[in-house]
Amino acid sequence: MHNPFGPAVPTDRAISALRPLSAGAARLDRGGLLGGWQERNRAATLPHCIERLHERGNLDNLHRVTGEFHGPFVGWWFADTDVHKTLEAALWDGGFAGFVADTAQLLEKVQDPDGYLVSYFQAGERDRQWRELPSSHEMYTAGHLVQAAVAGARTAPADPAVQQLLGVARRFADLLVERFGAGGEDAVDGHPEVETALVELFRVTGHRPYLDLAARLVDLRGHGLLGPESRFGQRAYYQDHRPVRDATEVTGHVVRQVYLLAGAVDVAVETGDSELLRAAERLWDSALASKTYLTGGQGSRHRDEAFGDAYELPPDRAYAETCAAIGSFHWAWRLLLATGRARYADEMERLLYNGIAGSTATSGTAFFYSNPLQLRTGHDGSDEDAPGERLAWYKCACCPPNLARLMASLHTYAATGDANGLQLHLYTPGTFSAGGHTFTVATDYPWDETITLTVGSSTGDPFTLSLRVPAWCADARVVVNGTPAAAFVEDGHLRLERVWRSGDRVELVLAMPPRLVTPHPRVDAVRGTAALARGPVVYCLEHADVPGHYFEDLHLDGGAPIEVRRDHPLAPVALAVTVRDEATVTVPAIPYFLWANRGPGPMRVWIPLLP
């Protein structure tokens, strides 16, 4: 029996081209890059987040409501969400049972009888409760609580702590339904997030009012409910300037926009709303066409953490918030499930290896909030908004626990499948099962172009193995049991349908020669430059590899050959390129996601070309 599993699981009635795998059907090998990141998350990032919740007062804020802590509230009014996201990460991970049990018990103790649970307003700010929705993040906070409970319901439904947590989440969700559902107050939260959480709670419980409220919140946005002026006089900051169905371009605060659209896709597939789904796809096109960096990062303005104008993509001023990249990944996953189109998996891959991976140090305990594509010589990194190196924590610490929950659930995004076939979207060592068939993947991707799949078990019935061919790959070759097979690619997928036998072997080769990427001519900030890429990985020049040269004087010789090197002390694969200032030298370019692991200093992705 197929029981789909993961952070987003459409019901059988949903518009869904693809289905998530069942629990336990996807396992990542820790020797691979993705599995290694997941293991680092378990060993370093998650314990670090839990420790910081204690040190920075997030848990004390909750104890303050119960009277067990008597100090002032610490942090932003939505500080509870850092607890909820870390809790969700721990539940996807399957460890940290003590933290899970203690936190579930604390949350139940803090919760009001009516279900309300936002510690900032519960202890000392009662008169402001529900009165400042443009900025209060009350529904947003509820959403992250719900998502933690959903993770528990899918990973350990019989665990008493999970049952306790699910009860807490449902009481808060029921309060939202009572207050803001049909016949209630017409209102939306200034920060979308609860929409997708309510849909997942409906998927877990089957309780229709949760889905109905999510749909209502999506449709209410864009009608000026957050006030005639809103923040800085711009309703677009909140995506409250135009209904989702009518919007033609992404705008405003990036995280709010991508979270809203992830929720819109969830609502669309569960309600059969093809118009809403088309709107989400149209806005995706808007984002990718002219408002997304080469790394997949989004948000060119530090002010408002916002999208800029079309083609406004300055590399040194890129905000490209980590949470925005994670939210875009979630949005892409939902569109992939809904449509089956490979372009959404391509974007997930680009985000993972660049816009998301670059946010975390190799130690797993230091992070970037913003992710620029250039750091100038002499950059003043004293401002936490644009540091020269990763920090252990932030005043607004939304990104580290968000990373923890994504990495803890990373295996659920690698493949989809059902009784008829398995679709592999992310290439990494591991084991993937669907429809009675199990495939073991061996590869050194993205450093090596060869992916080998071996059949471990099969039913003896026809079964389709679908392999994604990324848009960056111009030459894909496949061999089955030593014999070249026809590599017919349709919409980014190479499909092999046959009766599989135990021991069958498939070898997919995705040619990944180094390549120069030139920017769109309308991106003024990087005219006359080029970037380096190989496979899904974007490369950069970093100060440590060009000692004795003033970084801003370097020019790239675009006509010189690019050599793949495997002897760099930091990068499994570096690209040897020719650059020139007063002299001509050959230097290594490293994967963008590995920059700033050798101390602060200049870096650039877009390199001026020799005239």
pLDDT band at 606 (very low <50, low <70, confident <90, very high): very high
Q: What are phi and psi of 141, to 5 degrees?
A: -65, -45
Torsional sign, CA 554, 559, 565, 571: positive
Answer whether residue 228 shows pLDDT above 90: no
Distance CA 452, CA 361 (A): 30
**Range name among 85-99, 372-386, 594-608 with the lowest pLDDT average:** 372-386
Pairing of strands 421-424, 462-468: parallel
Residue 48 to residues 148, 365, 401, 566, 593: CA-CA distances in angstroms?
18, 6, 9, 32, 20
Same domain, yes or no: 247 and 114: yes
Q: CB neighbours of 351 closer than 8 A, spacing ≥ 6?
A: 295, 296, 325, 328, 329, 332
The answer to whether residue 12 is domain-embedded is no
SS3 state at 464: strand
Provide the domain limits for residue 486. 415-445+450-510
DSSP one-letter string for 404-437: HHHHHTGGGGSEEE-SSEEEE-S--SEEEEETTE
The answer to whether residue 290 is domain-embedded is yes
Torsional sign, CA 278, 318, 394, 41: positive
The answer to whether residue 14 is domain-embedded is no
Answer whether residue 387 shows pLDDT above 60: yes
Answer whether residue 324 shows pLDDT above 60: yes
The answer to whether residue 404 is domain-embedded is yes
Per-residue pLDDT at 50 = 98
Cα-Cα end-to-end distance for the chain? 62
Same domain, yes or no: 543 and 560: yes
Same domain, yes or no: 475 and 544: no
Helix 80-93 × helix 58-66 angle, to 10°: 110
Per-residue pLDDT at 1 = 53
Residue 241 to residues 227, 254, 305: CA-CA distances in angstroms?
10, 15, 17
Distance CA 241, CA 226 (A): 10
Per-residue pLDDT at 589 = 98
Same domain, yes or no: 431 and 369: no
Mean pLDDT of 276-294: 97
The answer to whether residue 594 is domain-embedded is yes
Same domain, yes or no: 419 and 493: yes
Same domain, yes or no: 463 and 361: no
pLDDT band at 384 (very low <50, low <70, confident <90, very high): confident
Same domain, yes or no: 436 and 559: no
Answer whether residue 232 shows pLDDT above 50: no
Per-residue pLDDT at 67 = 95
Q: Residue 363 is which amino acid?
A: S
**Range name among 224-233, 488-497, 536-545 with the lowest pLDDT average:** 224-233
Edge-to-edge order in the sheet of strand 450-457: 26-28, 430-434, 437-443, 450-457, 505-510, 476-480, 483-485
**Cβ neighbours, 10 Å, residue 32:** 20
The CATH code of the domain that includes 469 is 2.60.40.1180
Torsional sign, CA 394, 397, 398, 404: positive
Same domain, yes or no: 294 and 328: yes
Query: How far out from the chain centre does Cα 575 lie?
Result: 27
pTM over 0.95: yes
Answer whether residue 311 shows pLDDT above 90: yes
The answer to whether residue 246 is domain-embedded is yes
Please give the share of the chain, as a percent, with pLDDT higher than 70: 99
Per-residue pLDDT at 218 = 98
Per-residue pLDDT at 385 = 83
Per-residue pLDDT at 482 = 96
The CATH code of the domain that includes 382 is 1.50.10
To the nearest whole number, what is the mean pLDDT of the chain?
96
The answer to whether 262 and 277 are in contact (CB under 8 A) is: no
Mean pLDDT of 556-572: 97
Mean pLDDT of 430-445: 98
* Residue 208, both tokens: 């229709």
Nearest to 558 by CA among 589, 532, 523: 532
Number of domains in the chain: 3
DSSP one-letter string for 41-59: IIIIIHHHHHHHHHHTTHH
Same domain, yes or no: 163 and 149: yes
The answer to whether residue 215 is domain-embedded is yes
Max intra-chain CA distance, the chain: 73
Digit-coded pLDDT (tens) for 549-559:
999 999 999 99
Q: Residue 391 is which amino acid?
A: L
Same domain, yes or no: 489 and 346: no
Same domain, yes or no: 110 and 44: yes
Same domain, yes or no: 482 and 389: no
The answer to whether residue 17 is domain-embedded is no
Beta bridge partners of 27: 431
Answer whether residue 539 shows pLDDT above 90: yes
Mean pLDDT of 439-452: 98
Higher pLDDT, residue 455 or 489: 455
- Of 493, 510, 527, the residue that ends a domain is 510
Question: DSSP class of residue 391?
Answer: B
